[in-house]
Amino acid sequence: MRAIYLSVFIVSLPGYALANLRAPMWFPEAPSSFLSKVPSDNTAQNLEVQKERLTMDCSYTSCDVDAVYYIAAKQSERLQFEFILPVDVSVVTNINGLSSVATVSMIPYSISDRFNDNSSTKAYKAIFTGRLNAGDNFIQINYEQRLGLFESDYGYFTHSRFTEKFTYALGPLKEWQLAPDFSLDITLSTPKQRPDRDGWSLFKKRSISCQLDNSQQIKKGDKIIYYSRLDKQFPDELVCYMGDTDLLGRR
């Protein structure tokens, strides 16, 4: 398993000059990750991931993440699983209908040691155990993940706007044995209405950009919903941006 643009804006007025030299504010959040591969090679050969369903229901600051893994086992076994997190939060797990709260603890390396991330953010692991039966099984993991925020259009005479960023490490899933017809369904939703922090505008609209193949985006009720179905050739990392459409076009 497991560029920031510097904006310089100078206005000449009678008697003095006003300068804005500060960089945009950037509030990063490190990614979470798929379940770690079970330690025994023999055990790993007995398990096959058939599909994953990854759903993120986001607000302007965080996402409720629901990850469901459908796994076929050749024999019944009681196993321990590990899930990597960027923050210490409550993690609720469900294995074949039996729910429990995982034990979360800090691990002695940072996120950057395990993933392509430049931050020194501490990492946490959620450990839980459960029995996989011979045949079809599901493992469900639910937790809250904060969003990264990147500031744009800041200055003395403009209202700051923010782009939200969600990151999830998909690569560790490739450590498992995947079914020939494996599928990964990704659904991310965000509020359709612009947040008060971005100021009022008649023309600006929110959107989602994850740059995935076979994707579609719809508006339903008060939400914007992004959906994509991937096969075994999925990317190592899922990175999604949410915000005003014109800001997403700059990324």
Q: pLDDT tens track of the chain, all 251 residues?
A: 333 222 222 222 232 233 333 333 444 455 555 555 554 555 667 889 999 999 999 999 999 999 999 999 999 988 888 887 777 888 899 999 999 888 888 876 544 444 444 444 567 888 888 889 999 999 999 999 999 888 776 555 556 778 899 998 888 888 888 999 999 999 999 998 876 665 556 667 889 999 898 899 999 999 999 999 999 999 988 999 998 888 886 65
The two three-digit tokens of residue 213, written as one number? 């193949």
What is the rounded CA–CA span in Å between residue 26 and residue 35?
29
Please answer whether residues 36 and 168 qualify as being in contact, where contact means their C-beta atoms are separated by less than 8 angstroms. no
Domains plus CATH for the chain? 24-248 (2.60.40.3680)
The overall pTM is greater than 0.75: yes
What is the rounded CA–CA span in Å between residue 188 and residue 58?
7
